[in-house]
Amino acid sequence: MSTQKIKDEFRKAFGVTPKGIVAAPGRVNLIGEHTDYNDGFVLPIAIEQRTLAAWAPRDDGRVVFASLQQPNKCDEIDLCTAIETGQHAWGNYCRGVAAGLIENGIELAGCNILFDSNVPLNAGLSSSASLEVATGVALLAVCGSESSVKPHLLAKICQHAENTFAGAPCGIMDQSISVMGQANHALLLDCRSGQTRQIPFDAPNTVLLVVDTQVSHDIGDGGYPARRKQCEAAAEILGIPALRDATEEMIAQAVAASKISDLQMRRSRHVVTEIARTLAAADLLTFKADGYLQKFGELMYASHASLRDDFEVSCPELDTIVDLAIPRSGVFGARMTGGGFGGCAIVLVEENHAESVTQVISDGFKKQYHRRPPIFATHPAPGAMLIE
């Protein structure tokens, strides 16, 4: 995916040369899954796969969205009328961002925007957040307001767009890392306060492998909303604002008193232990004591087991990838990443073992499922930016 390609395609689509190009990355969550909507902590990185948005102004007060991934499905809004959901599902992410910017006092200008992306769709790598953030940065660039919306607010606007216009009940993590990611860093995000801390993720001679099961992942499906409701119900029974405030002792006492069901206990236990693992992982990466990558890997494996057993959001394909990675030389850790029910697993590995580990996982997966999973290597990348 190149800037020259999107320039050429923009000229074909709109008959003019774009005035600017922005980029917004997808993300991988290193650890801290299903903790964001429980007011907990997450530790994602921005990845090198991203969405590009080329733009040029127009003078009729309309915004036209087009995507190379959605041929013949252009979407269009009139800035003089209220913005509502449209007929194209992909365009609703963009519409929601435009509406959110207007609600926050930004006077948008008419423009054409063309998107191109190499973030895999429905793989748990936040292709939707990448699209939303690219939309927001492009719309702000058109009207010369790039610095008028703070990063935290832009992330909230994009999250609200996904919740309301696309109907997906995501937390704030995906949009936050796409906006605020830094090269060679992970982002420790407190999903209650919104406070962030850049955590070094720059171990030399290591690489993160991303393995796509190609099992469809859509957080608007029933599994994700059901988990969210189960967590909210458990918090209400425990008498706390969110499961971030729970402790293992509190959960044990509620079980002993028959206040919560076994399912609610397991959902709560995952959230409490996953928050603890996330904070421990951030400390390991920050202080880099001897053996810190091995200990970080142990947290990854424990996280996957909890997601598989207590939260029940893994799937056989994800479990297979993690199982194939566990005994391999050069592997520090592996786990599913994203909302689950498919999507991707990640494997933290020594760079000089990456090729052999990739081959082992690919061969083992093919033996069991009769197809090879797409696998790519990535490093922590910068967040959204103006390219040209």
- Same domain, residue pair 83 and 158: yes
Q: Which listed residue (174, 190, 202, 323) is catalytic?
A: 174
Residue 388 burial (10 A CB sphere; 0-12, 13-18, 19+):
exposed
Cα–Cα distance for residue pair 190/210, rounded to 1 Å:
25
- Same domain, residue pair 32 and 144: yes
**C-alpha dist (Å) from residue 181 to 189, 201, 235, 356, 381:** 11, 12, 31, 29, 7
Quick one: DSSP state of residue 372? P
Q: Residue 218: its pLDDT value, please?
A: 61
- Same domain, residue pair 10 and 143: yes
Q: What is the pTM of this model?
A: 0.94
> Can you tell me which residue has the tokens 């057993």?
309
> Can you tell me which residue has the tokens 């947290």?
299
Given a contact cutoff of 8 angstroms between Cβ atoms, the answer to whether 332 and 353 are in contact is no
- Same domain, residue pair 257 and 114: no
Do the strands 62-67 and 111-117 form a parallel or antiparallel pair, or are they unpaired? parallel
CATH number at residue 50: 3.30.230.10
- Same domain, residue pair 86 and 66: yes
pLDDT along the chain (388 residues), means of 10: 93 97 98 96 97 97 97 95 96 98 97 97 90 98 93 97 92 95 98 96 95 79 87 98 98 97 98 98 97 98 98 97 93 95 96 97 98 97 95
- Same domain, residue pair 212 and 196: no
- Same domain, residue pair 144 and 167: yes
**Which of 128, 127, 137, 111 minimizes the C-alpha distance to 23?**
137
- Same domain, residue pair 144 and 226: no
Given a contact cutoff of 8 angstroms between Cβ atoms, the answer to whether 129 and 175 are in contact is yes
CATH number at residue 349: 3.30.70.890
User: Active site includes 174?
Assistant: yes
- Same domain, residue pair 135 and 276: no
- Same domain, residue pair 244 and 318: yes
Q: Which domain holds residue 331?
A: 206-378
- Same domain, residue pair 193 and 234: no
Q: Residue 224: its pLDDT value, please?
A: 86
Cα–Cα distance for residue pair 55/317, rounded to 1 Å:
39
Q: Residue 219: its pLDDT value, please?
A: 59
Q: Residue 327: its pLDDT value, please?
A: 80
Q: Which two tokens stand for residue 346?
A: 């990640």
How many domains, the chain?
A: 2
- Same domain, residue pair 277 and 316: yes
